[in-house]
Amino acid sequence: MRISARADYAVRAVLEIAVRQGDDPVKTETVALAQDIPHKFLEGILGDLRRAGVVDSRRGGGGGYRLARDASAITVADVIRGVDGPIVSVRGERPTELTYKGTAEPLLPLWIALRANVRRILEGVTIADLAGDALPGPVRALAAEPAAWENP
Cα–Cα dist 144/32, whole Å: 30
Q: Is the pLDDT of residue 50 over 90?
A: yes
9 phi, psi to nearest 5 deg? -60, -40
- Amino acid identity for residue 72 in this structure: S
CA angle 33, 72, 43 (to 5 degrees): 30
Helices (H), the chain: 5-20, 28-35, 39-51, 76-84, 107-123, 127-131, 137-144
Indicate the helix (H) or strand (E) that contains 25: none
Per residue in 83-142, pLDDT tens? Answer: 999 888 888 788 788 889 999 999 999 988 998 999 999 999 999 999 999 999 999 999
131 phi, psi to nearest 5 deg? -65, -30
Query: pTM higher than 0.75 for the full model?
Result: yes
- Amino acid identity for residue 1 in this structure: M
On whether the CB atoms of residues 142 and 148 are closer than 8 A, the answer is yes
Helices 5-20, 39-51: inter-axial angle, 10-degree rounding: 80
Half-sphere exposure of 7 (CA within 13 A, CB side): 18
Question: What confidence score (pLDDT) does residue 90 get?
Answer: 82
Q: Is the pLDDT of residue 72 over 80?
A: yes
Mean pLDDT of 33-59: 96
Confidence of residue 31 (pLDDT cuts 50, 70, 90): very high
Q: Which residues pair with 66 in a beta bridge?
A: 56
Question: What confidence score (pLDDT) does residue 87 get?
Answer: 86
